[in-house]
Amino acid sequence: MFDPRDTCLLDDALARFDELVNAPCLHELTHFPVSPSETPPACLGFIQIEGFPVTDTFKAFSFVLNALESLQITIGYVIQVRNEQLSIYIGIKGDEFFCVALEILKNGLIQTFPGIQLHELTPEESCELIDQLFSPCKHNSLATISVIPNTSTTTPILTSFNNLMGRNEDFVLFLLATPVSLCHIRSILNELICLFNILSGFSQGNHTASKGLNKNGSTTVTRSNTETNGRSCTDTNTSGSSHNSSQYKNITSSTSLSLANNKSLGVSLLCNDSCGHATNTSRASAEGITNSEAVACSNSRLTATNLTENEAIVFSIQNKCVVDALATLNLLITRYTNLLTLPAFEFGAYLIAPCLSTTVRGAYTYLGVADAPSSTIGPTVVNVWDHCNSSFCTILKELQCFNQPFFESCSSKDCLSSTTIISGLEFISTLYFV
């Protein structure tokens, strides 16, 4: 059935959704080269934490993390197991506000976790620690873990992770949080809304299939018979008689007398007798007879038959790919809308170990305890590099500088990263453990 909508637009939108949300390339990061970071050098500092006291208010430390984010401070959290000893470090990277941020961090730890024991490392100790954590001479493998930390777990994430990993194997779990600008979040949100608007027009197609049969029958019969009979007869008789008689008598007498003085007198007598007689007789007779007879007969018969049969089926077709994409986009739009009002971090989790088996087990263990079982937002992915991979040393170098590693892909217009964007509350949920 013909669909007037632009299917090419649908294909492009689904491809962009897959690239942006499902991110299939994240499963193949080991095949892509690392894009070197261009961030200038900055100050690094570490605080060693002897252990967190048990408290129910640990989530309040998210306020401290939000304050550090507002100063554009990068936060690195380290769990190191070495020679069966567990050590905890929290480090920061900054420039002009580095000293202020360090004070905020120390005071925030002391006030949020009363009784906590802290030790601020000297620059020399910090350099030595960085060498232990990220030196390719001491480690042979590393893994990146893409996950959004679960905030609803009853047992702290790192508590479960530490119990499952034990202390028999050396490893480093490095959690790195980089500040994210509102402009970047708004850009992501706008693209998600644009995709939602495009795909919503393809979520369902309504169709009507109809079949109609019309029969029209009409019969008209007209019969007309007209008979006209007319007769006309006219009889005219005319008779005339005329008689004229005239008689005239005319007598004339005259005399003349002489008078004196040569005068005379004439006398004349005239008698005229006329008699006339006229007789005229006329007779006319006319007789007319007209007979007319007309007989008309007309018969008319009309027969009309209309028969209509219609069958219609109305049905809708849903595109499963579009429906699922819209559900995920709706969750993401809500999430990023909330992140516009909260400080946000670009979060990356990295596990580094001398033994590849420890790296793989540790990465998937952390993924299992940190990921929310009901979460459907984005992929949860683990990528593993060993020392033979050409990007191995480059990634460690980026982590030494507290930089999130980014990867170049020929099939994607954007650089790839294993990071996720999280809030301060989600970050603190993966820092605290007892």
Q: Give pLDDT tens digits for 252-285.
A: 555 666 666 666 666 555 555 555 555 556 565 6
pLDDT of residue 434: 75
**Torsional class of 381: left (φ above 0), alpha (ψ -120 to 50), beta (otherwise):** beta
**Whole-number CA gyration radius for the chain:** 61
At 385 the three-state DSSP class reads: strand
Alpha-carbon torsion (100, 102, 106, 108), positive or negative:
positive
Q: How far apart are the first and last CA of the chain?
A: 62
pLDDT tens, the chain, 434 aa long? 445 567 888 889 998 888 888 888 888 899 999 988 877 778 899 999 988 888 888 888 989 999 999 999 999 999 999 999 999 999 999 988 999 999 999 999 999 999 899 999 999 999 999 999 999 999 999 999 999 999 888 889 999 999 999 999 999 999 999 999 999 999 999 999 999 999 988 876 555 666 666 666 666 666 666 666 666 565 555 555 555 555 555 555 556 666 666 666 665 555 555 555 555 565 656 566 666 666 666 666 666 666 677 776 775 677 888 998 899 999 999 999 999 988 899 999 999 999 999 999 999 999 999 987 656 677 789 999 999 999 999 999 999 999 999 998 876 667 889 999 999 989 999 988 87
What pLDDT is stored for residue 2 in this prediction?
43
Contact call for residues 422 and 345 (beta carbons, < 8 A): yes
CB atoms within 10 A of CB 266: 8
Which residues 6+ apart lie within 8 Å of 360 measured at CB? 141, 143, 382, 384
Give 177-208 as a DSSP string. EEE--HHHHHHHHHHHHHHHHHHHTTSEEEEE
Number of helices and strands in the chain (H, E):
10, 13
What is the pLDDT at residue 209?
Answer: 62
Q: In angstroms, rounded to a whole number, what is the distance separating the alpha carbons of residues 297 and 138?
A: 124
Q: Which residues contact 142 (CB under 8 A, 6 or more apart)?
A: 350, 351, 352, 353, 359, 384, 385, 392, 395, 396
Query: C-alpha dihedral over 69, 174, 366, 385, to 10 degrees?
Result: 120
CA distances (Å), 385 to each of 35, 87, 411, in order? Answer: 16, 24, 21
Cα atoms in the Cβ-side hemisphere of radius 13 Å centred on 431: 28
pLDDT at 294: 60
* Ramachandran region, residue 84 (left: φ > 0; alpha: ψ -120 to 50; beta: rest): left
Task: Report pTM.
Answer: 0.73
**C-alpha closest to that of 321 among 24, 17, 23, 19:** 17
Q: 352: how many CB neighbours lie within 10 A of its CB?
A: 27
Cβ atoms 189, 340 nearer than 8 A: yes
Report the distance separating Cα 380 and Cα 358, nearest Å. 19
Q: What does the pLDDT read at residue 5?
A: 64
Q: Which amino acid is at 120?
A: E
Those residues with Cβ within 8 angstroms of residue 300's Cβ, 6 or more apart along the chain or in another chain = 220, 221, 222, 223
